[in-house]
Structure 1
């Protein structure tokens, strides 16, 4: 009886399980029936169903993800590569004024120029709502007046440079002004002609030109310009090497002329091993500009190019162990410039060229002893005194007169001519009326050195003219200033000259016939 009851109970439980699973009697697998029959029959509760396959897979996935996360947290992280340090922007080195431009009624072109230059952090750019107009170079008085006004504006605004000019149908026609005159490179005759589209290469050129035109001034400023100019010149070079054919011919010539100025300025500050390379780049750029001169261009355009080429060649001579051939080449270029620059139209440029020609002839004579070079040098230098007057341009007049005194000193010694040597002495005395020890100590000392040397030679060739006391006083004063100012090389020259004077004076006292040695370098 008990067995029958147990069987009935098991049948009832199986029926309920099939109902819960939603299955009929024919749908239950045989394996499931056998498994159920083998299980014990607990009274408390039915057994928990096994986890479905999808749930088990999810559990394994979560467990694996957790393990990977823990492993990643415990694994040592690779070192982070160092990020490149961004250089700090250059602090302003030059203050540049951008004046109102002619033919720019709404000021839009000047604004674009201002914005393009302001992007260079080394420049502090300020707009100047003032127009400077220069119609041409045919009227020297107009050129002089406008040039003076631009320089006054630079001083009044406490700036370093002023960019001024006008617009043409092809683009900008600009000029650069500084507080001091610079007829050598930047001045009213140097036109910067570029398209209205101020592309990156054009702005690179303008930026390098402003750095080249800036006055070094103090040593910190000089160091900053030296640091900035060489890379700026390198960035400006591609545009000048191959100007775009879209540029008008005057613009192409202007770009190459401007790069010549930039390269010449770079040669002046570059290390010795780079200076000659930059000088050659300047010469090549000037010659490329010369090839772009048209038949209708005025002759003075070529004269300016000859002058710039001569200056670059002379700079190479300064660093050469054999400067004579380079000086001869530079003299040929300066002669060509002097022949084509009209004195009536361009007096300042003509006079500056004559000064450089005379100085180069004088230097070449010191190397070769060709007396005829000194005669030509005197003619060139004295001609400039028609432009540089003692009353209107006293500083420039004193510079020229000091060079005249040096030439007369050497010329008089070569000819053994007392009258020529006396002219050298008189020229030095005139210069010392302009140069003072307080305002221009080094220039004053240089003149005293030349005076002492001329007096020594005058006494030597006049066989005791009583000039040695004054010569010793002049050279002693020069030596003192050179030593105080830290000018070692001029101090060494003055010391040698002073020793010659004292030796000759001692020989005169003892009446011994002693021929003094020739002054090592009385011109410096």
Structure 2
């Protein structure tokens, strides 16, 4: 059996008699599949270099404690006696480069009344457990089972915080409840909870003061992530278009120097959504913008520091260049698409990630096929067939019959064309996609393979 999920509660500065920390820890006692531990160390937040630098330094301390304690979540913060609240923040065990719906951002915090009771306990448990990034499928199942009653029990406070609290405290509660609802929708595949999350995030945005640019931008980013999940699950391009607008709004407020990873994450997501919407609707007007967004993201997510994220973006870049190059009938652009796909495969190797490698091989095969179509080179078509063959064999070896359908059909088209051509003749397009999930990097689990987290077996295709 999987070990229990471990929640560690750090000491809270200004906590007289350790009363508030004990109250927090008590909320996680006797939860099935969850263990709680307290430690004597507090996270020190020094504001000498500004609030963002202080939060970054505190986050580094928190991640070090998570690793040292082998914990799944660290709850830390402080007691604000004059305001009458305990301010809590949440750091999980995973350093996630591009978050699934519901994970806390650098600005996420939850303010609870001193000596809070069970009604607030429901909210705390829902927010804390939604902040976890499970290491195994068993942990994910545990979270899904626990979150459902907790998020429902916290709905009253989460969507309608007491007006006796300040506007920022109310906004923080709404944002945290939005995270909990988004996480529940993610684990249960219930779009209804995703829509509740969007409602909560919108309520938080309405309470923010004008100068809270970073909070405003990150909340729009959270809305975009949820709308993207709805659109990818439903196949409805209208939700993807709404996600695009949310990401554009986020970029109006997020500045690269202040939060480079978050800025790059939005650029990457915006580029992917522009590509998907264009592909689904048969329009190509936004492909140049998509290319610009992906290239901007790679300024932060470089190959040396973020190899997995870099390879993901490079794979998407290859897809966008394929469509753009085919539309423009440009051999040069298609050669760039082939090179992008090959570079992604230098990181997504068969040994490191066989299913992602298979998706990359199918993507490379499509790029080669289109290059053969416009260059009329038989050897390029033969290389495309070999890539499709590699993808097909790997998917079948892992029992991924549904994912194998795309390279199987592409391979048959390539082999048929090789049999038919005796000289330079026009080539037909490969099979692009049968369903949106094969267009790009889908953010839904458990239907996707997740990189490095051991939570599933199905691969992202494309």
Where do 1:110-509 residues align within 5 Å?
A: 110-135=21-46, 138=50, 143-168=55-80, 169-170=82-83, 171-182=85-96, 184=99, 185-271=103-189, 275-295=190-210, 297-321=211-235, 323-464=236-377, 466-508=379-421
Do 1:402 and 1:427's aligned partners in 2 also have CA atoms closer than 8 Å? yes
Gapped runs of 5+ residues in structure 2?
440-461
TM-score (norm 1): 0.76
Q: Classify 1:138/1:476 alpha carbon distance in 2 versus 1 (closer, same or farther; 3 Å).
A: farther
RMSD of equivalent CA atoms: 2.3
C-alpha contact (below 8 Å) 2:20/2:115 kept by paired residues: no
Partner Cα distance (1:443, 1:130) in 2: 41
Once residues 284 and 265 of structure 1 are traced to their aligned partners in structure 2, the CA distance between those partners, rounded to angstroms, is 14
Contact 1:452 1:471 in 2 (8 A): yes
Do 2:8 and 2:37's aligned partners in 1 also have CA atoms closer than 8 Å?
yes
Distance 2:246 2:107 in 1: 18
Question: Could you tell me how far 1:218 is from its partner in structure 2?
Answer: 2.6
* SS across alignment from 2:41: strand
Q: How big is the shift at 1:288?
A: 0.9
Of 419, 428, 431, 1:516 maps to 428
Distance verdict in 2 for CA 1:199–1:119, change over 3 Å: farther
Work out whether residues 249 and 292 of structure 1, in 8 Å CA contact, stay in contact via their aligned partners in 2. yes
Separation in structure 1 between the aligned mates of residue 238 and residue 401 of structure 2, nearest angstrom = 28
Structure 1 residue 97 and structure 2 residue 8: aligned? yes
Note the C-alpha offset of 1:134.
Answer: 3.7
Instruction: Return the alpha-carbon distance in structure 1 between the equivalents of residues 327 and 429 of structure 2.
Output: 15
| 1:141-162 Cα deviation digits (max 9, x unpaired) | 6554443442332233222111
Give the conservation status (yes or no) of the 8 Å contact 1:257–1:286: yes
Instruction: Give the deviation of 1:135 after TM superposition.
Output: 4.8
The alpha-carbon distance between structure 1 residues 95 and 461, as it changes in their structure 2 partners (threshold 3 A), is same
Measured in 2, the distance between the counterparts of 1:349 and 1:468 equals 40
Contact persistence 2:325–2:333 (CA under 8 A): yes
* Residue equivalent to 2:451: none
* C-alpha contact (below 8 Å) 1:455/1:467 kept by paired residues: yes
The 2-side partners of 1:201 and 1:223 are apart by 25
What is the TM-score when the length of structure 2 is the normalising length?
A: 0.86
Cα distance between partner residues in 2 of 1:254 and 1:481: 46
CA distance in 2, matches of 1:348, 1:138: 18
Taking a change above 3 Å as real, the CA distance of residues 138 and 367 of structure 1, as seen in their structure-2 partners, is farther
1:156-176 alpha-carbon deviations (Å, 9 max, x no partner): 322211112222233122221
8 Å contact from structure 1 (residues 177, 187) kept in 2:
no
**C-alpha contact 1:193 1:254 (8 A) present in aligned 2:** yes
Change over 3 Å in CA distance of 1:475–1:153 after alignment to 2? farther
Larger radius of gyration: 1
Q: Contact 2:144 / 2:187 at 8 angstroms: preserved in 1?
A: yes
Higher relative contact order (CA 8 A, sep 6+): 2
| Deviation string, structure 1 residues 378-397 (Cα, Å, up to 9, x no partner) | 11111012211211121221
